[in-house]
Structure 1
Amino acid sequence: MFYTYLRGLVMFLLWGANGNAHFHHLENIPSQEENYILVAPHRTWWDPVYMAFATRPKQFIFMAKKELFQNRVFGWWIRMCGAFPIDRANPGAGAIKYPVKMLKNSQRSLIMFPSGSRHSTDVKGGVALIAKMAKVRIMPASYTGPMTLKGLIRGERVDMNFGEPIDISDIKKMNDEGVAEVANRIQTAFDTLDQEVAAMQLKKGPNPWLLLPRLLVFVVAVLVALLTFAVSFVASFVWDPDKHRK
């Protein structure tokens, strides 16, 4: 429930601030009954929100670097939404076992940014191994739009593009060659998605008639966010999401 609430709240904030988001090829997204790994190059801190919004009502778990959990409220928020911490220097077996277990035994899919950093498009082997062990498809997506908060608020166009799911069941072993093949398929999908968006008209601004409604929504969303922050701060002392995670 908290996942759905926070996803909606942040989307209201983003719509109020930007109001110029466009989603493409939503028909490629698997059905709600199917679990999958949603992957994309990590370019901003808000692209996961657009991804989660476009694929609703499907809910996700996601990996996050352990440093993000140090802030009491933000760390509590992302734990409540299904995040689990990863030590990049020493990820350990849990980085593979936990998402595989959730993909097999829950209704939640997995969001991963295989680059591991915001502006790199390197595809790492973790996605390939998890997808193979969990026997799920890989769903590529790509964000194109403002890279700064200033650009977002100015209403620069946002495009969220979704490719066709990648089936890796034909790859028998996840050795170096197998991982390289998966990486190549994912990177090819990323490149294709970016090229499709580049061919679109990207200069169109937000609808000026929606400026006042957006402003009102943004103000209300900010007030609700502040109240949520205060309640979450108190709740973080009495409710441990990890102990209640299914």
Structure 2
Amino acid sequence: MFYAYLRGLVVFLLWIINGNVHYHNQDKIPDQDENYILVAPHRTWWDPVYMAFAARPKQFIFMAKKELFTNRIFGWWIRMCGAFPIDRDNPGQEAIRYPVNMLKKSQRSLIMFPSGSRHSSDVKGGVAVIAKMAKVRIMPSAYLGPLSIKGLLSRERIDMNFGAPIDISDIKRMDNAGVEEVARRIQEAFDQLDEENQSYHNAKKPSVFWYLVRIPAALVAIVLVILTLMFSWLASFVWDPDKHRK
């Protein structure tokens, strides 16, 4: 329940800030009963929110660097939303074992970003191995839009596009050749989605009257954020998301 609430709250905040998002090909997203790995080139801190919101009501787990869990409130938030900490310098077997088990035994899918950082080659291998072990498909998506807070505030257009799920069941072994083939298929899908996004994209922004709608919505959002912060701080002392997840 908290996952759905926080996802909705963040999207509500982004709607107030930007209000110019467009989703494409959501019909390609697998049914709620199927688990999968949702992947995209990682371009902003808010693109996973749009990814998760587009695929609702499906809920997701995701990897996050361990440093993000040091803040009491934010760490509790992301744990409640299915995040699990990863040491990027020494990920260990748990980085594979935990998401595989969740994909097999729970109703949650996995969000991963197989490109966009200096760890991209390792993550591409992780996507391939997890998908193979969990016997799930890989769902490609791509974000096109503002990459800065200034761009969001100026209401630059956002396009979130989804491609056909990638089936890797024909790849027998996840050796170097197998991982390279999975990475090739993912990159090919990303390139196609980016090309499609360019055709959708334009510089048109919502009317200036949009600000009149956002003013009362912003007041509501401020109240919700304050209440959520207070609740989360208190709840973090009595509810351990990791313990209850296990």
Asked if these proteins are the same fold (TM beyond 0.5), I'd say yes
Aligned partner of residue 63 in structure 1, secondary structure:
strand
Percent same amino acid at aligned positions? 69
Taking the aligned partners of 1:209 and 1:35, their CA distance within structure 2 comes to: 41
What is the one-letter code of the residue matched to 1:36? Y
> RMSD between aligned alpha carbons?
1.5
Q: Secondary structure at 1:243's aligned position in 2?
A: helix
Stretches of structure 1 lacking an aligned partner (at least 5 in a row): none
Structure 1 equivalent of residue 218 of structure 2: 218
Q: Taking structure 1 as the reference length, what is the TM-score of the superposition?
A: 0.96
- Matched residue type, 2:136: V
CA contact (8 A) 1:38 1:110 kept: yes
Deviation at 1:226, TM superposition (A): 1.7
| 1:198-217 pair list within 5 angstroms | 198-217=198-217
Equivalent residue number for residue 166 of structure 2: 166
In structure 1, the partner of 2:233 is: 233
For residues 30 and 125 of structure 1, the distance between their equivalents in structure 2, rounded to whole angstroms, comes to: 23
Q: CA–CA distance in 1 between the matches of 2:142 and 2:120?
A: 11
Q: Which amino acid aligns with 1:211?
A: Y
CA contact (8 A) 1:12 1:218 kept: no
- For 1:116 and 1:101, the matched residues in 2 are separated by 26
Describe the superposition over 1:34-88 as per-residue Cα deviations: whole angstroms up to 9, x where unpaired.
0000001111111111011100000000000111111111010000000000000
- The answer to which structure has the higher helix fraction is 2
Matched residues in 2 for 1:116 and 1:86: separation? 17
What letter matches 1:133 in structure 2?
M
Q: Is the 8 A contact 1:63 1:86 kept in 2?
A: yes
Matches of residues 1-246 of structure 1 in structure 2 within 5 Å? 1-115=1-115, 117=117, 124-246=124-246
User: Could you list the runs of 4 or more consecutive aligned residues of structure 1 that deviate by over 6 angstroms after TM superposition?
Assistant: none
Q: Report if aligned partners of 2:104, 2:134 keep a CA contact under 8 Å in 1.
A: yes
Q: TM-score, normalised by structure 2?
A: 0.96
For the residues of structure 2 that align with 1:18 and 1:53, how far apart are their CA atoms?
15
Q: Which runs of 5+ in 2 are unaligned?
A: none
Q: Secondary structure at the match of 1:41?
A: coil
Output the CA distance in 1 between the equivalents of 2:245 and 2:116: 25
* Contact persistence 1:129–1:174 (CA under 8 A): yes
What letter corresponds to residue 162 of structure 1 in structure 2? F
Are the equivalent residues in 1 in contact too, given 2:157–2:201 (CA < 8 A)? Answer: no
Specify the code of the residue in structure 2 equivalent to 1:191: D
> How many correspondences in the alignment?
245
Q: What whole-Å deviation, never above 9, does each CA across 1:172-222 have from its counterpart, x for those lacking one?
A: 000000000000000111111111111224211124443322232222112
